[in-house]
Amino acid sequence: MKLAILGSGFIARFYADALVGQRRKDEITIVYSRTLSNAKTFADDYKVPHYTDSIKECVSHKDVDAVIIGLSNDMHLEAVLACCAAGKHVLCTKPLGRNAKEAYQMLQAVEKANVIGGYLEDLVYSPKSLKSAATIQSGAIGEVIWAKSRETHPGPHSDWFWDKEKSGGGAIIDLGCHCVELCRNYIGKNMRPVEVMCWADTRVHPIDAEDNAVALVKYENGAIGQFEVSWSFRGGMDLREEVMGTEGTIWTNNFLRTGFEMFTSGKGGNYIAEKAESNSGWLFPVGDEVNELGYNHMFTDMFDAIDNKKQPMENFYDGYVVNAILDAAFVSAKSKKWEPVQIDDWRGVAQKKVQKEMTSYNEDYYLIKEEVLPSGEKKYIIKNKKTGSIEKR
């Protein structure tokens, strides 16, 4: 694949590390940055033959098949429209829009231009998330009742994130987008999200946006997705998931406490991991951040989709649904009530809430629970099928 990258900041560099890492054959043809000197530095660092400070020139370069957007949130719509006008496939970082209205404009634009719109939600492509999703799809943990995703860190690295107008919100839009999509992948993307209850507050920083939030997202089959996000968490970046199914459980820890622990006096201090707050004492490095954050698998899926003229696993429709859920979270944080998720263009297959079949203890009783007590005694909690009375045996 011949690629253009819009942006030369934090995520553009992570993407480039994945794109030109290992023995990948994909090539970055051109990079755009609004400051020519930044574009040149990026081009020099990654051996990119062309650089520019014009978005139009970048996306319409003749040797470009697909454009990767790594610009601040307020620039996503403009950049996507420029790619569509140039007839180029477009892969946009998260969140797709600052709100569902913007995201839907982008979705419509790629569909009209007949180009692939890939949503660069890396965390669903981490090896642990891919394995979890495949395990859930195989039925190994039964029906998912509740999926929780937590992303917390001490706050982002650039000014524009903290400006609500430019970013579209605080920790909810920045981190909640990851959590919502992880939960959707576990609960099932055909499950329609119906309503959201959210608490959000600005506890620590002098900003208008929220720096902490917790929300519950209810799906049409009764499943609950929960997200916990913070820009004031101390101690690095905490990325964890918990999934509870009727037949099993999955816990993943993606960043802190991954089984890699290190002590250093800090005298030779160096980069430890994204958002690490210290480079001395006991530390929790990450072996291969690019891979463990999902960037490699993500780009493989995106490019395979373009080659095969198919939708990638994460596409602009997903980005739109995520934005719609987050919009409802913002409304709920104000109203302090469950708020409906407004998705005018729902494309999932309708699902019904299925009541789990009850297990019989015998002809007259259902089995609620069986347990072996410390004494070795086996206890059964049962329910009379006729009277409903709950008893033990």
Q: How far is the CB of 318 from ligand NAD (least distance, A)?
A: 13
Does position 152 bind ligand NAD by CB under 6 A?
no
Place of tokens 């999926």: 147
Task: Give the x-and-dash track for 155-184 against ligand NAD (CB under 6 A).
Answer: ---x-x------------------------
Site for ligand NAD in 115-144 (CB under 6 A): 120, 122
3-class SS at 368? strand
Q: How far is the CB of 312 from ligand NAD (least distance, A)?
A: 15
Distances (CA, A) of 106 to 8, 70, 81, 149: 22, 15, 7, 26
Cα separation, 260 vs 188, in Å, equals 32
- Using CA atoms in the order 381, 139, 119, 157, what is the torsion angle rounded to 10 degrees? 50
Q: What would the two tokens of residue 195 be? A: 């309503």
- Binder among 75, 91, 244, 341 for ligand NAD (CB under 6 A): 75
User: Which stretch, 71-79, 181-189, 317-325, 341-349, contacts ligand NAD (CB under 6 A)?
Assistant: 71-79
Asked if 124 and 314 touch (Cβ cutoff 8 Å), the reply is: yes
Task: Give the x-and-dash track for 88-107 against ligand NAD (CB under 6 A).
Answer: -----xx-------------
Q: How far is the CB of 295 from ligand NAD (least distance, A)?
A: 8
For residue 300, count other CB atoms closer than 10 A to its CB. Answer: 15
Q: How do 249-253 and 117-120 pair as beta strands?
A: unpaired
HEC per residue, 15-30: HHHHHCCCCCCCEEEE
User: Which stretch, 2-10, 56-64, 104-112, 253-261, contacts ligand NAD (CB under 6 A)?
Assistant: 2-10
Q: Which is nearer to ligand NAD, 123 or 215 (CB)?
A: 123
Q: What would the two tokens of residue 240 be? A: 């964890």
User: Which stretch, 3-11, 264-272, 311-319, 364-372, contacts ligand NAD (CB under 6 A)?
Assistant: 3-11
Q: Which is nearer to ligand NAD, 120 or 306 (CB)?
A: 120
Does position 296 bind ligand NAD by CB under 6 A?
no
Task: Give the x-and-dash track for 4-43 against ligand NAD (CB under 6 A).
Answer: ---xxxxxx--------------------xx---------
User: Which stretch, 72-80, 181-189, 190-198, 263-271, contacts ligand NAD (CB under 6 A)?
Assistant: 72-80
Q: Give the type of residue at 18.
A: A
Does position 385 bind ligand NAD by CB under 6 A?
no
Does position 297 bind ligand NAD by CB under 6 A?
no
| CA dihedral over 124, 129, 132, 135, signed as positive or negative | positive
In this structure, the chain runs to a length of 393
User: Which stretch, 65-73, 180-188, 330-338, 345-353, contacts ligand NAD (CB under 6 A)?
Assistant: 65-73
Q: How far is the CB of 325 from ligand NAD (least distance, A)?
A: 16
CA angle, corner 210, sides to 179 and 105, nearest 5? 60
Site for ligand NAD in 184-213 (CB under 6 A): none
Q: Which is nearer to ligand NAD, 65 or 274 (CB)?
A: 274
User: Which stretch, 67-75, 128-136, 247-255, 371-379, contacts ligand NAD (CB under 6 A)?
Assistant: 67-75
Cβ contacts of 95 within 8 Å, gap of 6 or more: 73, 103, 168, 173, 174, 177, 319, 322, 323, 326
Q: Which is nearer to ligand NAD, 20 or 382 (CB)?
A: 20
Does position 222 bind ligand NAD by CB under 6 A?
no
- Tell me, by CB under 6 A, how many residues bind ligand NAD: 19
Q: What would the two tokens of residue 155 be? A: 């706050």
Strands in the chain per DSSP E: 2-6, 27-32, 50-52, 66-69, 89-93, 117-120, 144-152, 193-201, 212-219, 224-230, 238-245, 249-253, 262-264, 281-283, 339-340, 365-372, 378-384, 390-392
Place of tokens 């070795």: 376
Q: Which residues bind ligand NAD (CB under 6 A)?
A: 7-12, 33-34, 70-73, 75, 93-94, 120, 122, 158, 160
